[in-house]
Structure 1
């Protein structure tokens, strides 16, 4: 069984129970695990060069999780070695006035990867079935419609050449408390802190239920959800790097055929 299969969401159990069944791939040697992750990140960079050169397939990485779950840290730790020519990160914030004038997927569709590109979504269209549900901005019927629309959207992306990997970074409530307190205690980390995080924390149970429903409703073979234990930053990065590297290898990427006419050229 590959690494990816070990972290697939289990549709038969609650998220917290599914997490308990996940095999920890970190060895416990933090330095060694970080080195392994770095080597995987370098391999991902090499494979991204092949992806960019072939200019055919596209890779979309979706990172979702509660505040402080490590989305920014994942981008840096797993994708920091990639040549920015063929990769980019999109951080979705609250929609602008212009974006609100369109359907909720409008701003997302224009950011999906082009041929040969890796795009990482730091948050995504899933916010539209999470925060909107928790705060009762949409009703149950609208939420179900959005689940169906998201499934159709991702199927269309898949059928037109986009490989999709979706990661739910799960941290415990206790770990989030510790990370928020760390930011408050260090003035150099105040820029990371948002008082809204404390407001959303009050709805912790609501978010857990919303994630449970959203992940189960939108998991698919062509757009799978991976449940990543994220209390350990080392374990989180190692797991995601392993899955991404495994997927890129499975795509059997190759450089495009050489041009035979080039053999006739001479550089003076």
Structure 2
């Protein structure tokens, strides 16, 4: 793992998901991978502190993947050592009535991280070129001009949205937001195993919903639209990383290492201590210790 190059997971224009792996052997045991993740998570938390003090950059992390791909547990394990005041997690569900009164990017724009902070999108603005393509009837609730029924939705709408998303991400990147986009890529057989686990293990029953099986029937369509979205929106300022996710500890480690590898390339340092403080530090220390 010492020679792991996380740039190898960046999607390229010629990338096809059929040619990508859903599992990878890091040459380590599960315990060794978990220990490596722990170390990287600690390094990330220290970097978060410096970023908070530096107050120049912010970080947006978008997590996408099929149902059961491990987004929730990844967030828990990778970021559990972060200072809570510098991390915000947003899990996007069906848009509310208020959100539908705005364009589809609005609810994501207002959740962008402040300078010095991290935002994690559990699902993201990409649902609008994924779920909405599998279920185009969802677009009707957006009340868009010229679209009154599903037949009014043409292929040009999706190309338009790819362009809008690219412009959105380029704009925020130019203003100090460091953008990460991870596709947690699991196999259909692994999803089946995880769904059965939810049914077979009583304490996990609550995680299962009949809609999981309904969406599973659209597996091929989702893979097709993920591939199109990734090809059209993986850019140098906002690359897509395709993470083999059949093994959860491995996926968590790869995501954590990718974030750390990229962030340490930025000029992120805590502010220098003022000369006045440095010159009088012993005086201040003595003043505090002499208090009664």
Q: TM-score range by the shorter chain?
A: over 0.9
Aligned to 1:91: 91
- Give the Å deviation of 1:58: 0.5
Aligned to 2:142: none
- SS at the partner of 1:164? strand
Once residues 12 and 189 of structure 2 are traced to their aligned partners in structure 1, the CA distance between those partners, rounded to angstroms, is 24
- Give the Å deviation of 1:126: 0.2
Aligned to 2:68: 68
Structure 1 position 8 matched with structure 2 position 23: no
Structure 1 position 132 matched with structure 2 position 132: yes
Aligned to 1:190: 205
- Give the Å deviation of 1:9: 1.0
Q: 1:181 aligns with which of 191, 196, 200?
A: 196
Once residues 252 and 184 of structure 1 are traced to their aligned partners in structure 2, the CA distance between those partners, rounded to angstroms, is 48
Aligned to 1:201: 216
Aligned to 2:110: 110
Q: How big is each residue's C-alpha offset from its partner over 1:161-205, in whole Å with a ceiling of 9 and x where there is no partner?
A: 000010000000000011011011122112222221111111000
Aligned to 2:234: 219
Count of residues in correspondence between the two structures: 266
Aligned to 1:30: 30
- Give the Å deviation of 1:11: 2.0
Q: Aligned-pair RMSD on alpha carbons?
A: 1.6
- SS at the partner of 2:11? coil
Unpaired stretches in structure 2, ≥5 consecutive residues:
138-152
Query: 4+ residue runs of structure 1 moved beyond 3 angstroms?
Result: 263-268
Once residues 175 and 25 of structure 2 are traced to their aligned partners in structure 1, the CA distance between those partners, rounded to angstroms, is 33
- Give the Å deviation of 1:15: 1.0
Structure 1 position 51 matched with structure 2 position 51: yes
Unpaired stretches in structure 1, ≥5 consecutive residues:
none
Structure number with bigger Rg: 2
Task: Please report the TM-score for the alignment, with normalisation by the length of structure 2.
Answer: 0.87
Structure 1 position 230 matched with structure 2 position 245: yes
CA contact (8 A) 2:15 2:231 kept: no
Once residues 252 and 230 of structure 1 are traced to their aligned partners in structure 2, the CA distance between those partners, rounded to angstroms, is 31
- Give the Å deviation of 1:2: 6.5
Once residues 6 and 103 of structure 2 are traced to their aligned partners in structure 1, the CA distance between those partners, rounded to angstroms, is 33
CA contact (8 A) 1:133 1:139 kept: no
- Give the Å deviation of 1:26: 2.1
CA contact (8 A) 1:10 1:18 kept: no
- Give the Å deviation of 1:93: 0.7
Aligned to 2:276: 261
